[in-house]
């Protein structure tokens, strides 16, 4: 067996489906692979035949040319698969298992992993703590928008679904466990959402919608979602959210019309560094807008969950400061209001087993909420283009025909 096909980044605005080597239990040289990782043996890994792999908004940042991602990088960090081979050091994961793959790669052995901080593993990326499949500056682990993919530290990383038939029946929901459902839930959880909370979520893309579902699962009294895109706002309303069109002005004013007060208890940033202004400035990029707005409209003593992506290198940033991830944030306001902030990669393993149970036992319908749309691998370039235009969908690639 030697054939594999995958989605590769080919420069700003351009992806292609390419022929690529079948995975081996060794990290080979290639686009984005840290030299210190070349030749790294992976006897603890598993090779998966991909069941479902999703296009993520953070992939879109790279495809737009807004990161330092190298051309030829194989994309994809949202992976669900069937185990077809295991390395000699794998003890518990078995051939034939259907598994969810956390997007953040973790060794399970370092101090951070042992503390549950799997988003900032110390051993998988020579550049910095934390790693992911198919992503810029994340060590060079090959992405999973492919027919086959290698996953390291399989016994630690992979979440096995208890029943194959049930998993395949609910695959459009379960595929969200690799990233956006835990990430959105993490945003709501770290914002302090509890029964009866009032919550404002900036961004109605898939992560923002997943955060809204997470807030509802946590018992929020009212969930308000803000965005510029009318189709995405309509999607948020489809499962019981209130909405704010930030192109119409300050969300604080619209929140007051909904709640009677201009502040919420919990705020979530599901937008990140490509944020745009509000009201008359909605057509212009203003990367600090969402963070400053959330500090303004979250009540004193509240908390902000920030699953939206911020980067240290943005070639397309609006100014020299933004190009290195330096934003004009009103930290003084946040300090004066005693706000709490939680940033960084979601530690997927903190949540994915519990969220799996919620899916399997029909407590949530995350696929319906994010409008999961399965497509063949060959349609990935068009899906990237449509997603970039604001399509209110979550595209799920079906490279091996598991999704009927």
Q: Which two tokens stand for residue 31?
A: 């686009």
Express each pLDDT in 5-48 by its tens digit.
999 999 999 999 999 999 999 999 999 999 999 999 999 999 99
For residue 2, is pLDDT > 50? no
**Where residue 172 falls among pLDDT bands split at 50, 70, 90?**
very high
Equal CATH topology for 5-179+366-397 and 180-342: no
Question: Which tens digit of pLDDT belongs to each residue from 109-134?
Answer: 999 999 999 999 999 999 999 999 99
Mean predicted confidence (pLDDT) in 127-147: 95
DSSP per residue over 306-339, as a string? --S---S--TT-SSTTGGGT-----HHHHHHTT-
How, if at all, do strands 98-101 and 198-202 pair?
unpaired
Report the pLDDT averaged over residues 132-138.
95
Residue 231, pLDDT above cutoff 80: yes
Residue-wise pLDDT tens digits, 252-278:
999 999 999 999 999 999 999 989 889
Of residues 323 and 177, more confidently modeled: 177
279: pLDDT confidence band, cut at 50, 70 and 90? confident
pTM: 0.96
d(CA 394, CA 404): 17
Enter the tokens of residue 360: 């399997």
Domain ranges of the chain: 5-179+366-397, 180-342
Q: CB of 210 within 8 A of CB of 366? A: yes
Return the pLDDT at 285.
87
CA distance 144 to 50: 7
Mean pLDDT of the chain: 96
Residue 178 CA neighbour count, 13 Å, CB half: 30
Contact 285, 64 (CB under 8 A): no
Looking at the domain covering 180-342, what would its CATH class be?
A: alpha beta
CB distance 87 to 151 below 8 Å: no
Residue 346: pLDDT over 90:
yes
Query: Cβ–Cβ contacts within 10 Å for residue 195, how many?
Result: 8
High-pLDDT (> 70) share of the chain, %: 100
**230: pLDDT strictly greater than 90:** yes
- DSSP structure class, residue 114: H
Tell the burial category of 88 from Cβ atoms under 10 Å away from its Cβ (0-12, 13-18, 19+).
exposed
* 300 pLDDT higher than 90: yes
5-179+366-397 classified as CATH 3.90.180.10: yes
Q: Residue 375's beta-bridge partner residues? A: 397
The pair of three-digit structure tokens given for residue 202, joined into one six-digit string: 């900036």
Say whether pLDDT at 388 is over 60. yes
Residue 312: the pLDDT is: 86
CA-based nearest residue to 286, from 227, 225, 327: 327
Give the percent of the chain with pLDDT over 90. 92
Distance CA 333, CA 262 (A): 16
């Amino acid at each position: 067996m030697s054939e594999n096909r995958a989605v590769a980044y080919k420069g700003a605005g351009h992806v292609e489906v390419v022929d690529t080597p079948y995975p081996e239990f060794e990290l080979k040289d290639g686009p984005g692979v840290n030299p210190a990782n070349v030749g790294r043996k992976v006897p603890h890994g598993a090779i998966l035949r991909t069941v479902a792999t999703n296009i993520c908004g953070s992939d879109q940042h790279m495809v737009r040319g807004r990161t330092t991602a190298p051309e030829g990088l194989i994309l994809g960090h949202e992976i669900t698969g069937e185990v077809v081979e295991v390395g000699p050091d794998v003890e518990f994961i078995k051939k034939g298992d259907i598994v969810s793959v956390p997007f953040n790669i973790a060794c399970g052995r370092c101090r951070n992993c042992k503390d549950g901080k799997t988003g900032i593993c110390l051993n998988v990326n020579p550049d910095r703590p934390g790693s992911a499949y198919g992503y810029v500056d994340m060590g060079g682990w090959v992405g999973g928008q492919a027919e086959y993919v290698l996953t390291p530290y399989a016994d630690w990383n992979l979440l096995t679904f208890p029943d194959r038939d049930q998993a395949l029946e609910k695959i459009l929901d379960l595929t969200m466990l690799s990233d956006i459902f835990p990430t959105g839930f993490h945003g709501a959880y770290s914002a302090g959402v509890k029964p009866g909370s009032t919550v404002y979520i900036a961004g109605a893309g898939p992560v923002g919608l997943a955060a809204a579902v997470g807030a509802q699962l946590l018992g929020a009294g009212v969930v308000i979602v803000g965005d510029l895109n009318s189709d995405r706002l309509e999607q948020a309303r489809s499962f019981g959210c209130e909405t704010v069109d930030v192109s119409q002005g300050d969300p604080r004013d619209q929140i007051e019309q909904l709640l009677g007060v201009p502040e919420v208890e919990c705020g979530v940033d599901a937008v990140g560094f490509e944020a745009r202004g509000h009201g008359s400035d909605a057509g212009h990029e203003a990367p600090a807008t969402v963070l400053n707005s959330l500090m303004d409209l979250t009540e004193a003593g509240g908390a902000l969950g920030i699953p939206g992506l911020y980067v240290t290198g943005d070639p397309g940033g609006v100014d020299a400061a933004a190009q290195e991830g330096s934003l004009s944030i009103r930290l003084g306001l946040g300090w004066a209001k005693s706000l709490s902030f939680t940033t960084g990669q979601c530690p997927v393993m903190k949540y994915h087993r519990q969220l799996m149970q919620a899916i399997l036992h029909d407590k949530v319908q995350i696929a319906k909420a994010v409008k999961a749309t399965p497509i063949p691998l060959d349609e990935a370039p068009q899906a990237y283009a449509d997603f970039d235009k604001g399509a209110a969908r979550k595209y799920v690639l079906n490279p091996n025909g598991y999704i009927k």
